[in-house]
Amino acid sequence: METMNLVESFSEFKDSKAIDRPTLMKILVDIFKHILSKKFEVADNFDVIVNTSTGDLEIWHSRTIVADEDVVNPTAEIAYSEAVKIEPDFEVGEQVVAGFDITNFDRRDIQSIHQMLKAKVMEFEKENIYQKYKERIGEIVSGEVSQVWKKELLILDDEDYELVLPRTEMIQSDFYKKGDTIRAVVDRVEFKNNTPFVILSRTSPVLLERLFEQEVPEIFDGLITIRKIVRQPGDRAKVAVESYDDRIDPVGACVGMKGSRIHGIVRELRNENIDVINYSANLSVFVSRSLSPAKISSINIKEEKKTIEVYLKPDQISLAIGKGGQNIKLASKLVDYEIEVFREIDTEFEDDVDLMEFSDEIDEWIIETFKKIGCDTAKSVLEIPRDELIVRADLEEETVDEVLRILRSEFE
């Protein structure tokens, strides 16, 4: 009987990342039994034995001895005259177990075995990728850029598994070319058309959280807790941290000596400006810290509307709002309240006029837009340069010019 060495015959599958050697051998046994059942209709009287150490496979065929003239099914029965050639002492009714020669498999059979094995290995690899990365959601992974496409990047990890980084999950200033090393967080794992897709992200707040865990031992050890992170990826982020140990300064620990700890994170995120804020259960204190570097004069919290009115001196309003409104937007997300900025009224503005007084000439939505940037009176609008007003309010030039004309006429 000729045996087959599975390791040599199917060597292309022996290094599969998804299947260990014993599992691969078991799959092959099942496939051979399936082929035998197709070849002989039934395979109950065939035993497929494999040595997982050497990879050798043997097939044994069991048949019942019957009288020569009674042979009906050659697969299950053997003529007495044939049986005694194997062992002279055999008698009718006994079982003959003989080796099944591998050469009985024709080219089509071998081709079917190969195709079935390939499909099975692919199925195992897909499931393996899915399970492996489903457990790693929220972890940072490193990989090499394999392909750069219009809408996404294809990344290969250290085991050559394919990962996807969509452009929508990249920082605006990110630029990678083939062969570059990239770090991102595993955002989600999806099955599409029976294929697992591992989606990475560089815009997720989780990436910033993991980077802090890597750079700040006190966070990794649990001495400092990250309460919340909000990001405008690539531009600005706010991180609220807290320590239950009064001896530890959470902000100082995160920033490090001369910024040593935070600099690496900033570089990784394309110079994203990161504000580390000491969390406080006192909402007024937390809001004040969230709007840093602006100094707040007073705060009015409206719990029922989930809004907070913040009053500042004129020179602090632009600091509170920030470039493109980033500071106030991120602060609102951090404290989970909508923050509205108002100018603190002093004697200089006693003869000022509230913008709502102009509602018959200026549309209410335009007035609300100015209020959101801290301009709730006529003089507070007029003292801001025209070009800056257009940018901060994000209004058309014609609209701003008309508003300025109406407000100036009030004081002429």
- What pLDDT was estimated at residue 18? 56
Q: Please give the pLDDT value at position 330.
A: 96
Give residue for tokens 């399970």.
Answer: 131
Q: Which residue has the higher pLDDT, 326 or 314?
A: 326
pLDDT above 90: residue 350: no
| DSSP 8-state secondary structure symbol assigned to residue 256 | -
Cis status of the peptide bond prior to 293, with omega within 30 of 0: yes
Has residue 211 got a pLDDT over 70?
yes
Query: Following DSSP, what letter does each residue of 123-179 receive, concatenated?
Result: HHHHHHHHHHHHTTTT-EEEEEEEEE-SSEEEEE-TT--EEEEEGGGS-TT----TT
pLDDT of residue 7: 47
Please report which helix (H) or strand (E) contains residue 274, including its range.
strand 273-278
Q: Is the pLDDT of residue 305 over 80?
A: yes
The closest alpha carbon to 186, from 135, 138, 233, 144, belongs to 138
Query: For residue 384, with 0-12 CB atoms within 10 Å meaning exposed, 13-18 middle and 19 or more buried, which class applies?
Result: buried
Give the pLDDT of residue 201.
97
Q: Strand, coil or helix: what is 341?
A: strand
* Ramachandran quadrant class, 119 (left: phi over 0; alpha: psi -120 to 50; beta: rest): alpha
Instruction: Report pLDDT digits (tens) over 146-168.
Output: 999 999 999 999 888 899 999 99
Is the predicted pLDDT of residue 74 greater than 70, yes or no? Answer: yes
Q: Which residues contact 369 (CB under 8 A, 6 or more apart)?
A: 393, 394, 395
Q: How confident is the model at residue 238 (pLDDT cuts 50, 70, 90)?
A: very high
Question: Model confidence at 15, in pLDDT bands (50, 70, 90)?
Answer: low
pLDDT at 348 over 60: no
Phi, psi of 199 (to 5 degrees): -100, 125
Give the number of other Cβ atoms within 10 Å of residue 403's Cβ. 26
Residues 6 or more apart from 323 whose CB is under 8 A from it? none
Give the residue-averaged pLDDT of 9-35: 70
With cut-offs at 50, 70 and 90, classify the pLDDT of residue 204. very high
According to the model, what pLDDT value does residue 5 have? Answer: 53
Give dist(CA 141, CA 15) in Å, integer: 23
Q: Give dist(CA 28, CA 17) in Å, integer.
A: 17
| Residue of 318 and 283 predicted with greater confidence | 283
The whole-number pLDDT of residue 349 equals: 47
Instruction: Give the model's pLDDT for residue 14.
Output: 52
Give me the percent of the chain exceeding a pLDDT of 90: 42
**In whole angstroms, what is the distance from residue 93 CA to residue 105 CA?**
28
Q: How far apart are CA 185 and CA 197, in angstroms?
A: 14
